[in-house]
Amino acid sequence: MIDEPTVFISHSSTCSDPGCGCAATRDAAVRLVEQADCRSILDVHELRIGEDWHQRLLEELSESRACIALLSPHALVSDHVFEELLLAKILSNLTGSTFRVLPVLVGGATRTQLKDSRLAKLRLDMKHMPQWTAPKPAPLDLIEVLEGLHTTPPGFPAPVVHDTVAYHLRPLDAEILRRAATLLSLAGPQWPPALPRTVAFGLLQERLLESSPDPLRLALKQLLRRVSMDGRSEVIDRVVPYARVPAEAGEQMRAVAARPSRRLAVLKTSDDRIPDFYLRRASTGDEPWVALRPSGAKPVVGEVRELLHQMLSNGIPPADDAELDRLIRRHEEEEGPIVVLLWQAPDQDLVTRLSAAFPRLSVIFVTEDGDAVPDAVSLRALTETQERALVRLHEELRGKFVRPGPR
Ligand SMILES: [Zn+2]
């Protein structure tokens, strides 16, 4: 699921000066982005009437990793450029500057003109604002930032999860979203097209402590009654684990699942509902990680094998271990790692047998005292109070907002 980073190019093409150089610079910017193995997005329909396409363009901007702002003299007075850069600035604030705003002065535009324009309000970084008009070579800073996008993590740590939650919030009134943003203490400009993503970001932040009054609970209650019936369950099941299970535990589980073998972890809890929330917290894709839960009535290795056959090939035993391994890999690539949950103290001998038979499965021992075996990662645990707050919030929201039915 590693996509090339997307870079949005904000520019204005309403140009009447043939000597301006803005069109050549725009084309050079597109080439520069592509040379850095990134995908470029730019507005080629600036003169088209209607707001739908611009709204879609802004959505694309909010899914990008950086925005190059080509500030020609006419871009300084363009409404579209202003809106795009306002959103870019919001994204930069939300992500702690991981989303990069890259302004360059084009076609004779000066710092003084910029200071006198309404873009000055956005406080673009003046120190790092080179002049660049094609065919002059592109500024080195710009090239370095573009290449760096491949190695820095995205600003939204789980972009798919953010997108999913933002998607369900998009139909809501700006006023409702603005109230939720205030409850969640999201500072900064609250511009309508950016609100769904801003609020999704606030909802998905770690908030392990339930305070009184609790901003997360209040915001969710206000939002959920307006989210479509189909979306409610997804919002609850994504937001509650992201807010109430430590982000660190999610990182630990992903690190364990990336090991070549001995993918072992221990989770300390006495509540059998808690591991499911951890599996949801670990997932950065569309689905929670799946768990196999051997009953303990049979030898574990044999039972895990039967459960794998059921899950991966409709109960039909694969021809051999190589085929089973292929099916496990395919599941892992498409839906995420498979986890064996064992409610028992870690057992060195069992670990050795399970790892030998299924090196690609993650094994999590769930115990009340948290004892570990060598190589096992102790997942960051919740206190009993935090566990109760997590389960209570989830049950309360599901009870209130989700139509009863099979989960
Ligand atoms: Zn121009």
Q: Which of 197, 193, 241, 251 is nearest to 216 (CA)?
A: 241
pLDDT at 308: 94
pLDDT at 214: 92
Confidence of residue 406 (pLDDT cuts 50, 70, 90): low
**Whole-number Å distance between alpha carbons of 266 and 365:** 5
How far does residue 107's CA lie from ligand 1's centre (Å)? 7
Per-residue pLDDT at 247 exceeds 90 = yes
pLDDT at 104: 95
Quick one: average pLDDT of 50-58? 72
Is the fold of 6-148 the same as that of 248-381? yes
Confidence of residue 1 (pLDDT cuts 50, 70, 90): very low
Per-residue pLDDT at 353 exceeds 90 = yes
How far does residue 307's CA lie from ligand 1's centre (Å)? 64
How far does residue 24's CA lie from ligand 1's centre (Å)? 9
Instruction: Work out the number of other CB atoms within 10 angstroms of the CB of residue 199.
Output: 26
Q: Which of 242, 270, 259 is nearest to 363 (CA)?
A: 259
How far does residue 247's CA lie from ligand 1's centre (Å)? 46
How far does residue 103's CA lie from ligand 1's centre (Å)? 16
**Contact (CB, 8 A) for 303 and 294:** yes
pLDDT at 328: 93
Mean pLDDT of the chain: 89
For the whole model, what pTM was predicted?
0.80
3-class DSSP assignment, residue 68: strand
How far does residue 64's CA lie from ligand 1's centre (Å)? 25
**Whole-number Å distance between alpha carbons of 45 and 42:** 9
How far does residue 314's CA lie from ligand 1's centre (Å)? 62
How far does residue 121's CA lie from ligand 1's centre (Å)? 22
3-class DSSP assignment, residue 303: helix
**Whole-number Å distance between alpha carbons of 213 and 31:** 52
pLDDT at 45: 58
How far does residue 136's CA lie from ligand 1's centre (Å)? 16
**Whole-number Å distance between alpha carbons of 330 and 74:** 52
Burial of 57 by CB count in 10 Å (0-12 exposed, 13-18 middle, 19+ buried)? buried
| Residue percentage of the chain with pLDDT more than 70 | 96
- Assigned CATH for 248-381: 3.40.50
**Whole-number Å distance between alpha carbons of 358 and 294:** 14
pLDDT at 316: 84
**Residue 296 vs residue 363, higher pLDDT:** 363
Q: Which residues of 69-88 are buried (b: 16+ CB within 10 A; e: fewer)?
A: bbbbbbbbebebbbbbbbbb
Domains of the chain, residue spans: 6-148, 159-245+389-401, 248-381
pLDDT at 4: 85
How far does residue 109's CA lie from ligand 1's centre (Å)? 10
pLDDT tens per residue, range 294-340: 998 889 999 999 999 999 988 888 888 889 999 999 999 888 999 99
pLDDT at 405: 60
How far does residue 81's CA lie from ligand 1's centre (Å)? 13
- For 71, phi then psi, to 5°, come to -95, 85
Instruction: Work out the number of other CB atoms within 10 angstroms of the CB of residue 189.
Output: 13
Inter-CA distances, 315 with 294, 303, 371, Å? 15, 12, 35
**Contact (CB, 8 A) for 25 and 38:** no
Per-residue pLDDT at 5 exceeds 60 = yes
**Mode of pairing for the β-strands spanning 362-367 and 264-268:** parallel
How far does residue 124's CA lie from ligand 1's centre (Å)? 21
Kindly tell me the sign of the dihedral angle through the C-alpha atoms of 143, 75, 127, 64: negative
**Residue 153 vs residue 148, higher pLDDT:** 148
How far does residue 16's CA lie from ligand 1's centre (Å)? 7
Kindly tell me the sign of the dihedral angle through the C-alpha atoms of 218, 219, 225, 231: negative
How far does residue 71's CA lie from ligand 1's centre (Å)? 9
How far does residue 73's CA lie from ligand 1's centre (Å)? 7
pLDDT at 46: 52
pLDDT tens per residue, range 92-139: 888 878 899 999 999 889 899 999 999 988 888 767 788 999 899 999
How far does residue 135's CA lie from ligand 1's centre (Å)? 14
Confidence of residue 51 (pLDDT cuts 50, 70, 90): low
pLDDT tens per residue, range 64-102: 899 999 999 999 999 889 988 998 988 888 887 889 999
* Amino acid, res. 341: L
In terms of CATH architecture, what is 6-148?
3-Layer(aba) Sandwich (3.40)
**DSSP secondary structure string, 116-152?**
HSGGGGG---STT--B--TTSPPPHHHHHHHHHTTTS
Per-residue pLDDT at 407 exceeds 60 = no
How far does residue 201's CA lie from ligand 1's centre (Å)? 36
How far does residue 228's CA lie from ligand 1's centre (Å)? 45
Confidence of residue 238 (pLDDT cuts 50, 70, 90): very high
How far does residue 5's CA lie from ligand 1's centre (Å)? 27
**Contact (CB, 8 A) for 25 and 133:** yes
